[in-house]
A = this chain, B = another copy of it.
């Protein structure tokens, strides 16, 4: 499994991904799921990968190779005019790999599967955030829905729903995303550290920050423990079920 999230705010974009891949519970490994294309002052593009590792690596490999090929000189992420064009390129690469691998995996227990969260900014337009599906189609975040998740999305969603809005500060959004990862990892063993956390402030046109939280990270551990303690305290202080509702009706 995987957990990736991208959050679009007024002040910027926050993106984070876990690093666990697994083919069965006895076959875990660590791979970075965050890919950055950055040319400071011109563009910053962050991709978060979900799906089978062979599929997502093939898509990223294809996108990278096209940046170096004369045949793709006008059709690669460095040449893209807009983030919409980048999302189209990712979509095309997904379909290219699906055509190549799909039929060979049709009867596999792990059929072709690759989806991406794509966030960033190209000079001349604001920050934008997209999410592609395994079929290659995609959607863009807007003011009403400011975040996308992929993979194990459920355990970590309530905190995002309850805390994040378009005006949330980048610092609060990063904290919230980390709490969301803590909740997810406590409930699903197939999501695991390290966590890659990146932030692009609006109009910075580069990675404003990037940090990898390794297992045992003191801040991340404290955050998780304080969160659990706080939640338990809130629960204890909630009003008890009234007596008239626990009498036999």
- Which A residues have a C-beta under 8 Å from some C-beta of B? 154-155, 157-159, 161-163, 171-172, 174-176, 178-179, 183, 186-187, 197, 199, 206-213, 219, 222-223, 226-228, 230-235, 237-242, 245-249
Contacts and interface: CB of A to CB of B under 8 A. Distances in A.
A158 B186 contact: yes
Given A206-B248, A227-B235, 12 more contacts: A155-B155, A158-B158, A158-B183, A178-B241, A179-B238, A199-B246, A209-B247, A210-B249, A211-B245, A219-B241, A223-B239, A230-B237
| 8 nearest A-B residue pairs (beta carbon) | A230-B234, A154-B154, A209-B246, A211-B245, A174-B241, A163-B235, A209-B248, A175-B241
A226 B240 CA distance: 12
Given A246-B199, A246-B211, A235 B171 contact: no
A122 to B, nearest CB: 19
A208 B159 CA distance: 35
A222 B179 CA distance: 25
A231 B157 contact: no
Contact of A155 (B154, B199, B208): B154
